[in-house]
Amino acid sequence: MQQLEIAEQTPLDMAPVVLCAYELGDYINQSAEVADYLYWKNEVEHNPEVASLRARFNRAKEFFSECERFGRFHPDYHAAKDKVKAVEAEMAQVECIRRYKEAEEVVDTLLYDVSLMIAESVSGSIKVPGNNPLPSGGCGGGGSCSCGSGGCG
């Protein structure tokens, strides 16, 4: 009986991998998407209207937290919750905040796509976490198989 020789695995030299990662990071940092994100982030950070809204939002959140300790039985619970939602809605109407969130989502998608390409180049079964609270696949996706991955049978 022939004995199968197992090829000895050599450890991965991380230095070239790290250098490539930094180079990839530099490419991403020089992209129009990141430039747009940084522009709107700066606009949000230096906008006096946003600073005022942020202070109002923090006060509303703090008051809601106090009410939340007692739940819906607190006499001001619903009013405090409505105040937080009202300030959030007001913040969503500010152009620089809206554009900042859009740019942030674009950069997040870019980073997710790059991570996914790297993972799939290693193996199609590697899972890449994303920021989407409602993932479209993977385990728990509600597929027809017993694991619920959405990709079986």
CB atoms inside a 10 Å sphere around CB 103 = 19
Structural domains in the chain, CATH included, are 14-122 (1.20.1500.10)
Residues 21-46: b if buried by 16+ CB within 10 A, e if exposed:
eeeeeeeeeeeeebebbeebeebbee
* pLDDT above 70: residue 87: yes
Predicted TM-score (pTM) above 0.85? no
Mean pLDDT across the stretch 59-86? 94
Q: What is the pLDDT of residues 111-151, one digit of tens each?
A: 999 999 999 999 989 888 887 776 665 555 444 555 555 44
**Cα within 13 Å of Cα(118), Cβ side:** 12
